[in-house]
Structure 1
Amino acid sequence: MNQYLILIDYVGVGLFAATGALAASRQQLDFIGFVFFAILTGIGGGSVRDVVLSEPIFWVGQPLYLVVCTITALIVYCTAHFLESRYIVLQWLDAGAVALFAVFGAYKGLLVTDSPSVATLTGAMTATLGGIMRDVLAGEQNAITRQEIYVTAAVAGAAVYIALWLVGIEDVVPALIGGLVAFALRAGALAFGWSLPRYRPRPGRPFDPS
């Protein structure tokens, strides 16, 4: 596994763990609650990805991921009160984590299956499921039910990474471009309310008994 992609994974876990700890601060939980939310958010999406891929769950063999989450929870526990708007910080940290995990999840899917379609899905799963679980448990409106772009950003970032990989571009370039695409879409959603057209119900046709 490329060293820069391992670094992306650790940074992504740390960013997602920070969002989980910030969610715990909004609920005024104790330190154990901070650690729980940090670990759940930091490793949740990647754990589901590895189960789907029938791979060993990544943090079981590398407990350093749990250490990263715990240290992140401690830092947020000691500093969250300095932030004026923890929810805004949470959202922007989440955007960075989505960008990183969209790329790493796609890489892991390609590594295991060599299938672009599977890799796109694993990229989206890795990038979004941890945040969705965090919001559901914290009682926040999760990103799926909000109108702004979220999963779409992860899918787009993963797809760009995979497309560049398919045409033979190697090293850090595909990861950088794919991550920037995912972050730009998510940032646009946060800053400008970007969203896709939503379903609008239409009146049903009148019943004709004949």
Structure 2
Amino acid sequence: MEQLLHWFDLIGIVVFAFTGVLAAGHKQMDLFGAVVLACVTATGGGTTRDMILNIPVFWLQDTHYLWIAAVTGVISFYLIRYLQVPMRLLMVADAMGLAVFVVIGTQKVLELGHSPTIAIVMGVMTGTFGGLIRDILAGDIPLLLRREIYATAALAGAATLVLLRASGKVPGEAVVATAVLVTLAIRLAALRWNLSAPIARFGNK
């Protein structure tokens, strides 16, 4: 189980770092800007979670996470210079990172002994805040605050993990995999069919 979560964690770091570079590329940033976006996207959600929970920040304890994000940033920077990268790829890659980090965050908080409610909130935060910081730094409206089904997908994935784990009838690896797939499926379905959440309206507007 720990090995699976570790690999998911590394996958999430790489994927989110890649989305940071894609966002930098669409804004025509230089190498430094691209690596900064890569690192903050990959570590922002987990950093926020650890600071709120008052536990050691994960990449300060194990700096290889930061190095992986930075190296991914450099490689991706030169890769996208020679490839035509559509904005759609950013959305799909972001969905993958969201799914992985939501599950990692939720599982970690449960293992620390916090309640399911706190685990779900922290899981959603882990999955979404890296992208939130990335979008703010890139000068875009964060995906988290748009009409798109984004936080809802994260919430569904975190809740799935909590419920399956509480049932005690599903092996740990299957719980993690199912929660990742639920988050990813909802987010990709929203992208594929342009699904969105209801918006607030004032009067008859």
**Distance in 2 between residues matched to 1:2 and 1:77, nearest whole Å:** 31
Quick check: 2:99–2:184 contact (8 Å CA) kept in 1? yes
**Distance in 2 between residues matched to 1:112 and 1:83, nearest whole Å:** 43
Aligned to 2:80: 80
Query: Over aligned residues, Cα RMSD in angstroms?
Result: 1.4
**Distance in 2 between residues matched to 1:159 and 1:83, nearest whole Å:** 38
TM-score relative to the length of structure 2: 0.94
Q: Which moved more, 1:87-96 or 1:39-48?
A: 87-96
Q: After the TM superposition, which parts of structure 1 deviate over 2 Å for at least 4 consecutive aligned residues?
A: 81-86
Asked if 1:28 is matched to 2:28, the reply is yes
Quick check: 2:128–2:144 contact (8 Å CA) kept in 1? no
Quick check: 1:50–1:57 contact (8 Å CA) kept in 2? yes
1:113 is displaced (CA, Å) by 2.9
1:122 is displaced (CA, Å) by 0.8
* Count, aligned residues: 203
Quick check: 1:150–1:186 contact (8 Å CA) kept in 2? yes
TM-score relative to the length of structure 1: 0.92
**Structure 1, residues 93-123: CA drift from partner, whole Å, max 9, x if none?**
0000000011111001101133100010011
Q: Give runs of aligned pairs for residues 1-210 of structure 1, distance below 5 A.
A: 2-168=2-168, 169-202=170-203
Quick check: 1:80–1:86 contact (8 Å CA) kept in 2? no
Name structure 2 gaps, 5 residues minimum. Answer: none
1:86 is displaced (CA, Å) by 3.6
**Distance in 2 between residues matched to 1:145 and 1:104, nearest whole Å:** 22
**Distance in 2 between residues matched to 1:38 and 1:59, nearest whole Å:** 14
**Structure 1, residues 13-65: CA drift from partner, whole Å, max 9, x if none?**
11111101111112222211111110000000000011111110000011100
**Distance in 2 between residues matched to 1:86 and 1:20, nearest whole Å:** 14
Quick check: 1:26–1:86 contact (8 Å CA) kept in 2? no
Tell me: CA distance 1:77–1:85, structure 2 relative to 1, closer, same or farther (3 Å). closer
Tell me which structure has the larger Cα radius of gyration: 1
**Percentage of identical aligned residues:** 38
